[in-house]
Amino acid sequence: MKFDDEFYTKIINIFARRINYTPGSLLEEKIISQIRRRKRFNITKIFVVMAIVVIFVTVVVFSNLNTVNQRSIYSSYENNNIQEVPQKFEPIIDISLVSDGF
């Protein structure tokens, strides 16, 4: 009986030491720094992903902007530059440019 008590106490102590293991200060520092590094790596990863997304969106938006025709109001103005407009017609063209309707 006494033998059993001693035996079980030893086993419990061994398990208790394993379960309640506290590392030394050097090892603790090493483990914490590893965890920090892992966290830092995650933040970097997020930044990298975000940067890629931002670059991608910017490229898409700007490529779309370039395809939008940044021209003056009313297509007539651009076309007028192709053939020189006689002075006779200029007032009508000017009115079509500055007026928004009737």
Partner 1 sequence: MKKFFVLFFFIIFTVLMFSFSYHAYRFVIEYTKDKQYTRYEEVYYKDGDKIVFVKIPRRIIWVKLGDKYYMGTSDKLKLCPPIKDLEDIFLEYANSHGISLDFNGEITISEKAFTLKALKIDGLLRNVIRKFEDVITEMQYIYTLSNYTFNEILQNFKFIDKSEVPQSIYNIFNLFLWFNVEYEDDVLKVYAIDKDGENILLEISDKSGDYQVGEYYLTILESSDKTREEILNEISSNS
Residue 96 lies near partner 1 (rule: CB under 8 A): yes
Token pair of 41 as six digits: 């790596």
Binding mask 47-86 for partner 1 (x = CB under 8 A): ---------------------xxxxxxxxxx-xx-xx-xx
User: Shortest distance, CB of residue 66 to partner 1, whole angstroms?
Assistant: 12
Side chain identity at 44, as an amino acid letter?
T
Rounded Cα distance, 25 and 15, in Å? 22
CA nearest to 98, candidates 79, 70, 72: 72
Q: Mark the segment that binds partner 1 (CB under 8 A) among 17-25, 26-34, 44-52, 94-102.
A: 94-102
Token pair of 42 as six digits: 């995650």
User: Shortest distance, CB of residue 63 to partner 1, whole angstroms?
Assistant: 15
